[in-house]
Amino acid sequence: MADHTLDAKGLNCPLPILKAKKALKEVPDGGTLEILATDPGSVADFEAFSRTTGNELLEHSEEGGVYRFLLKKTA
Amino acid sequence: MSSEAAGGNNIDPNTMSIIVTKGTLDWAYPPFILGSTAAAMGLQVTMFFTFYGLGLLLKDLDLKVSTLGNPGMKMPMMGMHMGMPNLVSAIPGVDRMATTMMKNMIKKKGVASIPELREMAVEAECRLIACQMTMDLFEYSTDDMIPGLEIGGAATYIEVATQSHINLFI
């Protein structure tokens, strides 16, 4: 279970990233944030976000057009 | 050769500046998207608003697009992508219609609005600088603008640019 879930479904670039950054503030250090999105561009973007910020992308998957990302707050 | 000798690479890689020169609805997107996203990714961002870009700092935004002289602008209509011949674009009301269409598309596709992106840039502590010369030229005062701005000129921007790893002109 993630510490926090962000529903970014229906939102387009760059809103899933911007909202994820905001939501990470609510997550304790070492905790996890689950993000649900429908923007196909968010796959590459969350990978880039993770590499640049150091927050680890633990998982990502897709089911029925919904992308699920699990970020670990490490930065 | 040390990295410093290779060209002053002691600049923090997580710094970005953007010169914002355009004030139409469509051209407001690139600077605010990149500025707010870079800030969300931990970069220190400075945006310098000059000429028509200065209008993007007004409290009351009334942004429009124009199809006039804009052959690259093709809107999805009736199952295809249609541009607007200049002769038609010049007819009163056509720009208003194009702006309404664009705003509807933005909403429908879950794209952020400019006020929303601007607010996120402010929240993420992007440094926003309004060009003093443009304010004089177009007769704006800081009372017309959103709070929290700095005022500066070319030298102010150049100083920022010398300390920024990424410098964009939009």
Q: pTM, whole model, 2 decimals?
A: 0.90
Cα separation, B79 vs B75, in Å, equals 10
The domain A14-72: what is its CATH number?
Answer: 3.30.110.40
**ipTM for this model:** 0.89
State yes or no: pLDDT of B3 exceeds 50.
Answer: no
A13 part of the active site: yes
Of B110, B117, B120, the CB nearest to A10: B110
pLDDT digits (tens, 9 = 90+) for B124-157: 999 999 999 999 999 999 999 999 999 999 999 9
Name the average pLDDT for chain A.
95
pLDDT digits (tens, 9 = 90+) for B32-66: 999 999 999 999 999 999 999 999 999 999 999 99
State yes or no: pLDDT of A71 exceeds 80.
Answer: yes
- The separation between CA A63 and the C-alpha centre of its own chain, rounded to angstroms, equals 15
pLDDT digits (tens, 9 = 90+) for A2-20: 899 999 999 999 999 999 9
- Return the C-alpha torsion angle B83, B88, B90, B95, nearest 10: -50
A18 in B contact zone (CB under 8 Å):
yes
Per-domain boundaries in chain B: 15-169
Locate the chain A residue with the closest alpha carbon to B33.
A14
The domain B15-169: what is its CATH number?
Answer: 3.40.1260.10
Pick from A75, A36, A47: which is nearest to B43 by CA? A75
Mean local confidence (pLDDT), A38-43: 95
Cα separation, B169 vs B153, in Å, equals 15
Cα separation, B168 vs A53, in Å, equals 21
Residues of B in contact with A42 (CB under 8 A): none
Of B37, B109, B110, the CB nearest to A17: B37
Q: What share of chain A is helix, strand, coil (3-state, %, to 5)?
A: 30, 35, 35
